Chain A
Amino acid sequence: MNGGRLASRGGLDSTLRVGPVRYRLRTPLPSVARDIRAAYQGYPFDDPDDCAEFEVNLRPTRWWRRFIRPQITVRTDIHTPMVPLPGSMGLLAAEMGMNLQVALGMRRCLLLHASTVERDGLAYIFPAGSGSGKSTLSAALGFSGDWRFMGDEFALIDLDTGLALPFPRPISLKNQSIAVMRALARDGVFSAAFETSHKGTISFLTPPADAIRRMNEPARPAAIIFPTFEAGAAPHGEAMTRADVFVHLASSSANFDFLGEAGFETMWRLAETCPGFMLRYGSTAAAIELVDAVRRTVTP
């Protein structure tokens, strides 16, 4: 990282590439810079070939807020009003800003609110809302060693090729999922736990090294799996009709309405070529077994 003036004072002013997305991250706050560097260890910072497309600037709300009860706000290219957060939540603010910029500005890919894993060159996409367990499922598979983690927040589908592009940002774990993943990823790099009013406790887990190293390797989508975690539920899987898959995919996309005909065709190709499944489970172990059963049905 070079980072110029801000970095020389302990801050951060760097480009960061995650899969096909190039960010510029800036902050004058050393503690925030430190947390970002720790969560993104192993990622390509300041590659001279990278031209940032999204800027996320984490600044004190007032100059004196840098020193007294530090409070930060996120400034971004695509302006979205965000509630200021305590300075100790800088990484959370950065992740929120990075998510929003992609959700609002990505036009090169079809964007699904989904996690993704890969095995044998095939991508398995888990579209679901917040709290469904999609992050935990993809993290557990990724840290099992048998699957490659490709992303836990957005699945990026290339408009030209239909391939799933990796977007392996630090994994956002909430509440009980943090303990589940601490047990499964004993050598994992976890951020501090952030207490939030609307989502409970959040901690970020840096993806496995393999996921970061292979962040430029796309994969062909093989199945669309809609996961639902339900405490105490018996494992259950159900095949979906193609029409149902399309409708559910459309409702899980952040940019389908903005992509026009290319978005429609990409979504259709996904629904046409990938069988869809609804999975309900009560434990991560059961979820992994269900996903593996899907894998066996879709691979030759």
Chain B
Amino acid sequence: MSERYISHIHRDCVIREADGIHFLYHRPAGQTHILPPHAYLLLEAAAAAPASFDDLLRALATGYALDGSAEERAGLLEHLATLIEAGLIETMP
């Protein structure tokens, strides 16, 4: 997994937070997204700097008890695919 992930939420989105839930209005798509804490944590990590898969896993581990199992890695991949589909994260070589 050599590809890196980047997010432009601070450029592209209006971001509001309430009760731990983040509400993002994504200007390019004209869509509103409602994100649970772990999903927003991923976006913040990818927005700070282009991040590898392992970087994102480490970022997630700061807020959640993770052991890096295959199941967790598969779960993260699934989350990333959802965020990519929503246009909130892009991949770069």
Contacts and interface: CB of A to CB of B under 8 A. Distances in A.
Interface residues of A, number: 16
Interface stretch (B19-27, B52-60, B69-77): B19-27
A180 interface: no
B63 interface: no
A160 interface: no
Contacts of B21: 243
A88 to B, nearest CB: 43
Contacts of A242: 18-19
Contacts of B16: 268, 272
B32 A243 contact: no
B18 A246 contact: yes
A260 interface: yes
Contacts of A244: 19
B30 interface: yes
A274 interface: no
Interface in A132-171: none
A243 B19 contact: yes
B27 A268 contact: no
B18 A264 contact: no
Contacts of B27: 260-261
Nearest to B30: A260
Interface residues of B, number: 12
A243 B18 CA distance: 5
A247 interface: yes
B14 interface: yes
Contacts of B23: 243, 246, 264, 268
Contacts of B18: 241-243, 246, 271-272
A217 interface: no
B14 A264 contact: yes
A242 B17 CA distance: 9
A242 B16 CA distance: 11
A264 B25 contact: yes
Interface string A214-247: 0000000000000000000000000001111011
A96 to B, nearest CB: 29
B14 A250 contact: no
A265 interface: yes
Nearest to A259: B30
Contact of A261 (B19, B20, B25, B34): B25
A247 B16 CA distance: 13
A256 B14 CA distance: 15
21 contacts: A241-B19, A242-B19, A243-B18, A243-B19, A243-B20, A243-B23, A244-B19, A246-B23, A247-B34, A256-B32, A257-B30, A260-B25, A260-B30, A261-B14, A261-B27, A264-B23, A264-B25, A264-B32, A265-B14, A268-B16, A268-B23
6 residue pairs, one from A and one from B, having the closest CB atoms: A264-B25, A242-B18, A243-B19, A243-B21, A243-B18, A241-B19
Given A243-B19, A243-B21, A261-B14, 12 more contacts: A241-B18, A242-B18, A243-B23, A244-B19, A246-B18, A246-B23, A260-B25, A260-B27, A261-B25, A264-B23, A265-B25, A271-B18
